[in-house]
Amino acid sequence: MDCPDISQNSGLYFIKYIEESKLDSAKSLLQYWESKCGQREPIFRAKILLALKLYEYNDSLLFDGVLNNVFNYQNRSNMIKYADYSAYDNYKSYFGYTPPNQIFDKFTKEWAIQLKDQYESNTIEYMWAEFYGNNQDTIFSKLQSNSHKDSKLSSEYHEQVDRYVKMFESHLSWITGVWIPTGPLSIVGIHPELGFQVGIKHKKMNYDLTMTFKFLDSPNVFEAIRPENGLPAEPTRHFFGGHLGFDIGRDIWVRDQHELQLTGGLAYDGFDVLEEDKDKDLNSASASSYNFNAGLGYRYYINSNFYLGIRAKYNVIDYTKNNVINYKGHPITIQFIIGGVNNAHRNSNLKALRYKVREK
């Protein structure tokens, strides 16, 4: 006989032996079934339930990759729930050549519900009986708790979670805020700021390219020079600036949807102060500077990917370096951010593991 016939007959005989309390015969049958068909989910399920019946459950029953059997049974349960058996028709080998919602499935489900009463609710035996009985949804949430942290199943679960959590995520955000000069530089006035960030997030680290623009004429008249024309300083209110830099952020506090970051960056910064005058053959002039900045940011995640944030930065600059203006001061920027992080492969696997990232 081939595996489909062996699986069908073995499932029926297993039920017969259990109903007749021939537990040793049932155990021998599972050994034969596995020797002919390999490690199939229905065989694993029967071995776990038989061990629960005999009070013989231990980690030696589990093997590397045991979570695949958990996913397999969840897929089987979903087929039954939605009465859609096309997956079984296409992947009979994956489902152990045991048709869903037939006699073997119905028997093991009812048996698991009965076995659940043999154990305390905080035991791993109870978790298995509940999983194969009437609740497939709680197994991963229980594995996230400390109740079963020493079990092989929990170790494998957290190994898989860690593998996906450590994957890089792309990051994109839109920035709006205010640029607030200090000291003598405050004469040029406070200006609104718009921009964006693009980069990656890896575990607790964030790496981004940042571009922002600050605009609107100054509320005050200030003086600026056109160095290339050799003329004296002239009054102006013109102002339009930009910032292009690289930022690094480190998550220093994370809880549920909340994330607090320490940030720092290096950038090129400047703003136009005098417009070109072609009639007088006068060049435009811009004050520019290096920019070293540091600050603190906060993100509130609406879901695992989308967040709202606020960030305050102190910017160390010197706009007097190119002799266009003579006002020193270190601006403060306060930015409101709408952003998102994403890695489809990472997120789909964590969702399958019921692991909630940046969510309650």
* DSSP codes joined into one string, 140-183: HHHHTSSTTTTSHHHHHHHHHHHHHHTS-EEEEEEEEEEEE--G
**Token pair for residue 133?**
């009985």
Q: With b meaning 16 or more CB within 10 Å and e meaning fewer, what string describes 40-62? A: bbbbbbbbbbbbbbeeebeeeeb
Quick one: pLDDT at residue 136?
A: 86
- By CB atoms closer than 10 A (0-12, 13-18, 19+), residue 74 is middle
Quick one: pLDDT at residue 360?
A: 64
Local structure of residue 41 (DSSP, 8 states): H
Q: In angstroms, rounded to a whole number, what is the distance separating the alpha carbons of residues 27 and 241?
A: 78
Name which of 131, 106, 78 is nearest 11 in CA terms: 106
List the domain boundaries for the chain: 3-146, 169-346
**Token pair for residue 319?**
């706009």
Q: Tell me, what amino acid is at 357? A: V
Q: In angstroms, rounded to a whole number, what is the distance separating the alpha carbons of residues 109 and 49?
A: 10
pLDDT per residue of the chain (360 residues) written in tens, 0 to 9: 799 999 999 999 999 999 999 999 999 999 999 999 999 999 999 999 999 999 999 999 998 999 999 999 999 999 999 999 999 999 999 999 999 999 999 999 999 999 999 999 999 999 999 999 988 888 998 998 888 888 999 999 999 999 999 999 999 999 999 999 999 999 999 999 999 999 999 999 999 999 999 999 999 999 999 988 778 999 999 999 999 999 999 999 999 899 999 999 999 999 999 999 888 889 999 999 999 999 999 999 999 999 999 999 999 999 999 999 999 999 999 999 999 999 999 999 999 999 988 876
Q: Rg of the chain over CA atoms, in angstroms?
A: 33
Q: With b meaning 16 or more CB within 10 Å and e meaning fewer, what string describes 166-199? A: eeebebebebebebbbeeebebbbbbebebbbeb
CATH of domain 169-346: 2.40.160.20
